[in-house]
Amino acid sequence: MAHNGRVTTDPSPVDLRAELERVEREIAELRPQIREIREQLADPADVRDRTEMLTMAEQQEAILAVIEVRRDELRRRLEQ
pLDDT (tens, 9 = 90+) of the chain, 80 residues, equals 445 556 667 889 999 999 999 999 999 999 999 999 888 887 766 665 788 888 899 999 999 999 999 999 999 999 98
Render 15-66 in DSSP notation, one character per residue.
HHHHHHHHHHHHHHHHHHHHHHHHHHHH-TT--S-HHHHHHHHHHHHHHHHH
Count, residues in the chain: 80
Residue 48: phi and psi, rounded to 5, are -60, 170
Strand 2-3 with 6-7, pairing = antiparallel
Quick one: what percent of the chain has pLDDT higher than 70? 84
pLDDT of residue 2: 46
User: For residue 37, how many other CB atoms are within 10 A of its CB?
Assistant: 19
pLDDT value at residue 78: 93
